[in-house]
Amino acid sequence: IAGITQAPTSQILAAGRRMTLRCTQDMRHNAMYWYRQDLGLGLRLIHYSNTAGTTGKGEVPDGYSVSRANTDDFPLTLASAVPSQTSVYFCASSDSKGFNNEQFFGPGTRLTVL
Amino acid sequence: LAKTTQPISMDSYEGQEVNITCSHNNIATNDYITWYQQFPSQGPRFIIQGYKTKVTNEVASLFIPADRKSSTLSLPRVSLSDTAVYYCLVGVFTGGFKTIFGAGTRLFVKA
C-alpha cells in the first residue's frame, strides 16, 4: 500500500451500536488526524496524535475515542453511535519533523447512523 | 486557534488568474497559514503553506501581508480542472499541526 488507507469505505449503522473506523498509513509519519465533514461544510478536527502513544482532542471530540498504539494505525471508535454522527470521516497524516503542514488524506469513510 | 473567513464561492473563466482571500484576524504568533484543495468525494490535498511575505510553488502563490491578518491564494491561468473547494487554515505546530478548516471557497471555472 502507498499513502493512507481507510476502512470501511462506507457503513450504515444502527444507533447505539459501537463502530471502529480504521486508518493505516505507510509513510512513517509521526502525526495523524481524524476529521469529519458534514454535507456542504468544511472539515472539523475530531482527534489528533502527534506521535505513537499520545493523542489530543480537536474541535469536536465528544462521542469519539482514538488510540495510537503504533506509528501506522490510528483507529477512531464511536462507542454508541448517534444519528448526528452521520458524516464522512477523513483520516490524515503528516511528517512532524519540520514546520510543514502538508497533511496527506485518506479516501474517507461515509458513515450513516440510523 | 484563529478562525478564518473566506468567500463562499467564486466564478472564473479558463486562463484567468484567480485570487482567493482569507481573513484570520486573530492569528497567533506561532500560527502558520496553509491552503488545501478538495474535489468532490476526495480528501483535501495540500497546495501551499506560508508564515509571512510571499511563497510560490509550481501550483500557486501565497501572499501574506506584514500584519498576517489575511492571506491571498493566487492560482495562475486556471483550467476547468481547478474547479474545487479551497480551504484556508491557520494552525500551530505542536509536533503535528492542530488546525481549523473553515467552510472553504467553492471555485467554479467556466470554459
* Model pLDDT, residue A98: 58
Q: What is the mean pLDDT of chain A?
A: 92
Mean local confidence (pLDDT), B11-18: 97
For residues A48 and A31, the answer to whether their CB atoms sit within 8 Å is: yes
Contact A108 B43 (CB under 8 A): yes
**What share of residues in chain B are helix, strand, coil (percent, to 5)?**
5, 55, 40
Band (pLDDT 50/70/90 cuts) for residue B94 is low
φ/ψ region of B82 (left if φ > 0, alpha if ψ in -120 to 50, else beta) reads alpha
- Between A and B, how many CB-CB pairs are < 8 A? 73
Residue B93 confidence (pLDDT) above 70: no
All 3 cell numbers of residue A112? 450513516
Q: What mean pLDDT comes out for the span A12-18? A: 97
Q: What is the pLDDT of residue B88?
A: 92
**Residue pLDDT, tens place only, A51-105:** 999 999 988 999 999 999 999 999 999 999 999 999 999 999 988 665 666 889 9
Q: Does B7 touch chain A (CB under 8 A)?
A: no
Whether B2 shows a pLDDT value over 70: the answer reads: no
What mean pLDDT is predicted for residues A18-30? 95
Residue numbers in B near A47 (CB within 8 A): none
Identify which of A56, A101, A105 has the shortest CB distance to residue B91: A101
- % residues pLDDT > 90 (chain B): 70
Decide if B104 contacts B85 (C-beta within 8 A): yes
Nearest CB among A42, A50, A101 relative to B102 is that of A42
Other C-beta atoms lying within 10 Å of the C-beta of residue B90: 24
- Asked if B47 contacts B37 with a C-beta cutoff of 8 angstroms, the reply is yes
Return the pLDDT at B106. 95
- How far is the CA of A67 from the CAs of A29, A79, B37, in angstroms? 16, 13, 28
Cα→Cα distances A19→A11, A80, B12, Å: 9, 8, 42
